[in-house]
Amino acid sequence: MSDPKVTPAHLRRAAAVYCRQSTLIQVERNRESTLRQYDLVSRAAALGWPRPAVRVIDADLGVSGSGLAARAGFTEMTEQIALGQVGVVLALEVSRLARSSAEWYRLLDLCGITDTLIADESSVYHPSMFDDRLLLGLKGTMSEAELQVLRARMLGGLRNKAARGELRIPLPAGLVWGEQPGQILLHPDEGVRGAIGAVFERFAACGSARQVWLWLRENALQLPSARDGQLAWVTAAYPAVHKILTHPAYAGAYVYGRTRGERFIDACGAPASRRRVVTSSQDWQVLLTGHHPGYISWDTYLANTARLAANMAPARGAAGTGATREGCALLQGLAICGICGRRLGVFYRGPAKSVPGYQCNGGVLVSGGQGRFCTRASGLRIDPAVAQHVLEALTPLALQAALDAADQAEAGNDVALDQWRRQAEQARYAATRAERRYRAVDPENRLVARGLEAEWEAALQAAHDADAELDRREQARPVQLSPDERARILALGADLPRPKPPYRTSEDTISLIGRLAVHYDDSMIAKVLNQQQRHTAQGMSFTPANVATIRKRHNIPARQGGTGHDEDGEVMSVHQAAAELGITASTLYRWLNDGFVPGEQITPGAPWRIRLTQSIRELVADDAPAGWVPVQVATASLGVSRQTVLQRVKRGELRAAHIRAGRRKGLRIELPACQDGLF
């Protein structure tokens, strides 16, 4: 039944049904409210609008109507009203259209000017009529007040629960909620706890978040990240390291109110909101120290944050020396300009930028880049004079401090190795789990078995790579100082300014040169050492000349030439073995990669060496025996992957030969006489 306020002029225009829910959770769970809003189409039809003339605007489902969020659907509707295309706006209630009086009254003014009606489930209103506008105004005011009441009630409950430390706020990686109210526990995964603990241990040693980040990257260690309640391992990034060092939850503190919402006017003149980080702990709404077990104590957390603030002080124009940076200048962050009192900057010149200097940029900054430096001096005389005074003031206690620093470096290597052991253990567990999943499936169901087999192979490869990397890092671990070496270093304190210990190549590098010299010349040895990013005692790259010098100094004989030969076969390089077998080197490298042919590598980066046994020679032939098929045919016939076929050949379950002549070159497989499936 049509309302008397609805005129033919209104019916000639469209009817707009506006649907809105405040959050996506309401859209998902409060389905009845959404269905009631869509049912307003029937209400428009009852008022006289034909179904094709009813437009449903639902772009704002999940968007707040407080006036701070951009609403595309509301903007579209107001544009159509301003163009005179809408005869009536239908909404379930006033709060669906707006929770803000500013937006509500602008809509009423626009509808009054364009002769547009506003309707809900029970009534039809005309904003240009005084009584209807008064009633609509009261409804808008009540809607805005209702929002404030609901917000105050909700926030009051949250604050009250947070004051007891029981509000379940998102926790950083390394901490999990327990079953009891307010119970927070350390993460049960030892690898996660080890990664978080390593960050705090390294910061205690080096005192810089950036140095911790570089240490993580140097050792290829990942950090855990909590994303949507799920734990993920990601490449270490500086913001993640800084967050770990500054998050109070790691110090056993429960904090609520570390961010604060505020309203402002954006560049377009519209009201908007944003979140501000509250840096001072005194301004946090809730701070409960000792609330749960932490990785560090609260006093350590305060010391860490103070140290980080001091590191950033020069960049922010505050007092402080800042974090120690790269470069050989002794007074970086310490020297003060005697003219203007500003801290001196550092510059480098000369070959390889090895000569430090100090300058004050105060005059340049004041004059907008046109002035001169207040002070500019070379460090050639300043640094040696400072070094002399420092050496005169040093005692054997300072040498003990140097030994302590060496112990800290060794401890850092131990921490990295421990984390790599956990990662290798995790990779082995993943491979075992993939194997269990593969063996649990019916072998006849190839649609599933093929995917699980590929997953198992990938997990096995990942476990192999993790074990290989762990072995490499354990071998590259720095040699610890012996008690005699520590005693000799402490004895230098009697005359510290005079003695200058000679440059000496590390024992690990000397031992590696001795093993490589048995098989390779000095040029190849230098190439291998540089690939492993090793350096000479002076910090330079290796060349054939300094490799030869190290050999002669340590009585290491040069390579005598020829190949090794014993009862197990002749040892050759890949290219020599390929020429002997009559195949290409790329084929032999592919066999090595597939594990089809065993190879030897003295150290990572060294050339591969093949022990050419009789069994390997028998793998190569000029003609294929009758009935032997290519690998592709064998995989299709057996219903397994190429890698599985090669594994069976390695185990002796299948016979294979590489055909090196004719048009049908490649690997040939002898199929078994009876095929009963995978096993």
Which are the catalytic amino acids? Answer: 22
Give the closest residue to 86 by CA, choosing from 60, 110, 109, 105: 110
Checking DSSP bridges between strand 666-670 and strand 655-659, what pairing results, if any?
A: antiparallel
Return the amino acid letter for 48: G
- The answer to whether 43 and 121 are in contact (CB under 8 A) is yes
Phi-psi region of 312 (alpha: psi -120 to 50; beta: other; left: phi over 0): alpha
Continuous H helices in 441-573 = 446-475, 483-491, 507-517, 522-531, 544-553
Within 10 Å of residue 30's Cβ, how many Cβ atoms?
13
By CB neighbour count within 10 A (0-12 exposed, 13-18 middle, 19+ buried), where does 252 fall?
buried
Q: How far apart are CA 260 and CA 294, in angstroms?
A: 25
- The answer to whether 264 and 275 are in contact (CB under 8 A) is no
Token couple for 659: 């055909």
Q: How far apart are CA 81 and CA 73, in angstroms?
A: 12
SS (H, E, C) 344-361: CEEEEECHHHCEEEEECC
Number of residues that make up the chain: 679
- The answer to whether 184 and 175 are in contact (CB under 8 A) is yes
Which residue's structure tokens are 């010391």? 303
Within 10 Å of residue 238's Cβ, how many Cβ atoms?
14
Token couple for 140: 């808008």
